[in-house]
Amino acid sequence: MPETKRALAEHFETLEQQHQAAWLGMWTFLATEIMFFSGLFMGYIIYRHTYFQSFEIASRHTNIIYGTVNTAILLTSSLTMALGVHAAQEGRNKAVVRYILITILFAAAFMVVKGAEYYEHFKNHEIPGQAFHPIPQAPQAVIFFYLYFAMTGLHAVHVMVGIGVLSVMAWLAARQRFDRVYNTPVELAGLYWHFVDIVWIFLYPLIYLIDRHT
């Protein structure tokens, strides 16, 4: 099969083995990503534990509408990404381009909402620094906002990297580079995108849902 010959690198015995190696490599990378984020999550847990009330009050200053809309956008983009990977596994390059472009569109929408949210924080003097307006009942609110910007900011960087990776995948698919036998790059880009989604799944309750019932 000529397709197989082209897809198989010389240091692998079979396509199966090559595919397995690529997936394990990607999961190893994702494990380092988990640890990358986990330092921030650990910091959040400790300060949330120490300054419980300040965090409750400060979290009410975040906009739950932006947060919920963004969660819905990212979850839906994960669906279109999964459909893109599905199309790649069937070797339908045109469909891959279409699904990945929709996913990029959702990612861009996420960034726009995030930008609007940051702008609101900027206007309300909620960005830590000289212009930060302290909240009288919550003396440690500034720690919440430090963590908020560090965590959502790092996540936003990952979204932007994702847009870059997906653009390359769309370009390759437009050039008919994938088929039933060779589609691993799209699969791995999909893994990365779903990971970014998972990080947000945890950021959403930790930032927006702490204390909404009052």
Partner 1 sequence: MSTEIVSKKIYFVIWASLMVLLFVTWGVAQFDLGLFNSLAALTIAIIKMLLVILYFMHVRYSSRLTWVFAGAGFLWLMIMITLTLSDYTTRGFVRPYNRVLSNWQDKNWNHLPGDKPMEPRPLP
CB nearer to partner 1: give 119 or 180: 180
Residue 201 CB, shortest distance to partner 1, in Å, is 5
Which residue's CB is nearer to partner 1, number 51 or number 97? Answer: 51
Structure tokens at 180: 């039933």
CB of 17 to partner 1, least distance (A): 9
CB of 31 to partner 1, least distance (A): 3
Nearer residue to partner 1 within complex by CB, 13 or 130: 13
Q: Considering the complex, what minimum distance in angstroms separates the CB of residue 168 from partner 1?
A: 20
Q: How far apart are the first and last CA of the chain?
A: 66
* Of 14 and 124, CB closest to partner 1: 14
Helix H, strand E, coil C: the string for 56-82 is: HHHHCCCCHHHHHHHHHHHHHHHHHHH
Residues binding partner 1 (CB under 8 A): 15-16, 19-20, 23-24, 27-28, 30-35, 38, 41-42, 45-46, 49-54, 64, 68, 71-72, 75-76, 78-79, 81-83, 86, 89-90, 139-140, 180-181, 183, 187, 190-191, 194-195, 197-198, 201-202, 204-206, 209-214
Nearest to 64 by CA among 160, 206, 196, 195: 206
SS3 138: strand
**Cβ contact 178:88 at 8 Å:** yes
Q: How far, in Å, CA of 133 to CA of 150, rounded? A: 19
CB 49 within 8 Å of CB 79: no
